[in-house]
Structure 1
């Protein structure tokens, strides 16, 4: 029985552009195709490994909204808090509300003491200490807002162009900073 090879396979039927092959070549072609190989007639009958697929191109990185990134980092910096007189203070919105309430009570009752629950444990504050503590926290929170404003201006001016530069700008909000 006659066998034929064409670009991509083998057959017992004649096809356009096919070449006649031996029975052994026909069997080799069938076995090769079952094993994932390709039949080619370019330059004569051969069973070859398929070409390696082209690697997928790296996707283009999504553009980063630097202003949104800076706003989020400013918020996370504030929430992570700071340390005031060796007392670590987390400053999410709930904590700030509780601290402001403590300061309000301290302003109305100078004889009162307050138990403040910090990451280091309970800290007892006099009314005067609570007011000073609240003021120090207010100053620090304002520093985070001031830094955010300066960073947003630097982004708008084009002097901050990467998230790494923004991270560096917020690394220490208590230190002086300039985008230049």
Structure 2
């Protein structure tokens, strides 16, 4: 080992200047191996996690709805074994107040027994707090809740056709979603 150290680090060695690029190359390769091993030890992110991270407000709304429906179904069915999964098609939409003005010109002309009616002009603008020239905040009219695209429910006691029908109807009405978008399966 000492002979190797002396051969590499000795300034008396006539091939020392040729060894420097090789040493640097070996160091770079070692660092690259260490970095790639660290990346492999991290947990891979699933597609579902990537989607939820991109739209956190959607996943938050879904979880809130799931918790409400789960709580209600547990009370209604008298069991603690209920799981609900809700899928929303988009996030909330903010609808702002708008001013709309319509101008209509009703001029009539008669030429060779023909009548003509001309023009209608419509303009819209957002209503803002403060002065528009000072970049005021727009006035929020309402928040449009996102539509539910599907619901999956696993519930104890849903083996019965009557109970399954009651669950589907209740969830359909509560979430304003058609019954064919609600699936109920037994909890095992």
TM-score with structure 1 length normalisation?
0.26
Q: Comparing both chains, which one has the higher relative contact order based on Cα–Cα distances under 8 Å and sequence gaps of 6 or more?
A: 2
Looking at secondary structure, tell me which structure has more strand per residue: 2
Q: TM-score, normalised by structure 2?
A: 0.26
Greater Rg by CA: 1
